[in-house]
Chain A
Amino acid sequence: MTHATGTKYLKNGMLPHMWCSGCGIGILMGAMVRAFEELEYTNHETVVVTGIGCTGKLDDYLTTNALHVTHGRALPHATGVKAFNPRLKVVVIMGDGDSVTIGGNHLIHAARRNIDVTAIILNNFNYGMTGGQASGTTPEECITSTTSFGNPEREIDICALAEVAGANYVARQTPYHGWELKENIKEALNKKGFSLVEVVSPCPTHFGKNNEMLEAREMLLWLQEKSLPVEKYRKLGVGEKKDYFAVGTLVDRNAPDFNTRYEEIRKRALEL
Chain B
Amino acid sequence: MGREIKLMQGNQAISEAAIYAGARFYAGYPITPSSEIAEICSRVLPTIGGIFLQMEDEIASIAAVVGASLAGAKAFTATSGPGFSLMQENLGLAVMGEVPCVIVNVQRAGPSTGLATKPSQSDIMQLRWGRHGDQTVIALCPASVRECFELTVKAFNFAEKFRVPVILAPDEIVGHMRESFEVPRAGELEIIDRKKPSCPPDQYLPFEAEVDGIAPLAAYGGDHVFHITSSMHGPNGYANNNPQNASWRVEQLHRKIDLHRDEICLTKTFDTEDMDVLMVTIGATTRSGRAAALEARKRGVKVGVLQLLTLWPFPEKEVAALARDVDTVVVPEMNYSGQIAGEVQRVVGTEKEILRVNRYNGTIITPRDILESILESRSGQSVRAGG
Contact = CB atoms under 8 A, between A and B. Distances in A.
A84 B73 contact: yes
Interface string A66-86: 111110010111111111110
Nearest to A102: B59
Given A14-B238, A269-B47, A73 B60 contact: yes
B239 interface: yes
A105 B68 contact: no
Contacts of A266: 46-47
Contacts of B89: 70, 73
A265 interface: yes
A83 B68 contact: yes
Contact of A80 (B43, B59, B71, B231): B71
Interface in A65-121: 65-70, 73, 75-85, 87-88, 105-106, 108-109
Interface stretch (A30-38, A42-50, A142-150): A42-50
B67 A67 contact: yes
Interface of A: 11, 14, 43-45, 47, 49, 57, 59-60, 63-70, 73, 75-85, 87-88, 105-106, 108-109, 262, 265-266, 269-270
B59 to A, nearest CB: 6
Interface stretch (B138-146, B160-168, B221-229, B243-251): B221-229
B134 interface: no
15 contacts: A57-B239, A64-B225, A65-B225, A65-B226, A68-B239, A69-B230, A70-B92, A73-B89, A77-B67, A83-B64, A85-B219, A88-B221, A105-B57, A106-B60, A262-B46
Interface string B343-358: 0000000000000000
B134 to A, nearest CB: 17
Of B53, B72, B223, which is in contact with the most chain A CB atoms at under 10 Å from its CB?
B53
Given A65-B227, A68-B231, A262-B51, A80 B64 contact: yes
B53 A73 contact: no
Nearest to B49: A266
B71 A66 contact: no
A80 B64 CA distance: 4
A88 B71 contact: yes
A202 B53 CA distance: 37
Interface in B63-100: 63-73, 75, 89-90, 92-93, 97
Interface string B29-68: 0000000000000010011000101011101110111111
B25 interface: yes
> Interface residues of B: mostly helix, strand, loop or mixed?
mixed
Nearest to B60: A76
Given A43-B225, A69-B90, A84-B51, A77 B71 contact: no
B93 A69 contact: yes
Interface of B: 24-25, 27, 43, 46-47, 51, 53, 55-57, 59-61, 63-73, 75, 89-90, 92-93, 97, 201, 219-231, 237-239
B90 A84 contact: no
Contacts of B65: 80
A70 B220 CA distance: 19
Contact of B67 (A57, A80, A109): A80
Nearest to A42: B225
Nearest to B219: A85
Nearest to B231: A68
A88 B61 CA distance: 20
Nearest to A14: B238
Most buried by B among A60, A69, A105, A265: A69
A77 B72 contact: no
A82 B90 CA distance: 18
A45 B64 CA distance: 18
Nearest to B27: A80
Nearest to B201: A44
Nearest to A68: B229
Given A76-B63, A76-B64, A270-B47, A68 B73 contact: no
Contacts of A63: 225
Contact of B221 (A14, A70, A87, A106): A87
Nearest to A80: B67
A68 B63 CA distance: 12
B56 A85 contact: no
Contacts of A59: 227, 229
Name the residue among B56, B57, B201 with the largest chain A CB count within 10 angstroms.
B56
A140 to B, nearest CB: 28
Contacts of A57: 239
A76 B64 CA distance: 5
A269 B46 CA distance: 7
B346 to A, nearest CB: 32
Given A60-B239, A88-B221, A68 B67 contact: no
B25 A84 contact: yes
A84 B71 contact: yes
Given A76-B59, A79-B53, A84-B51, 18 more contacts: A11-B238, A44-B221, A59-B227, A64-B225, A67-B229, A73-B59, A77-B64, A77-B67, A79-B60, A81-B70, A84-B24, A85-B221, A106-B56, A108-B56, A109-B56, A266-B46, A266-B47, A269-B47
Contact of B55 (A44, A109, A269): A109
Contacts of B59: 73, 76
CB-based closest 3 A-B pairs: A80-B67, A80-B64, A76-B60
Given A68-B227, A269-B46, A80 B220 contact: no
A265 B223 contact: no
A139 B59 CA distance: 28
B55 A81 contact: no
B68 A80 contact: yes
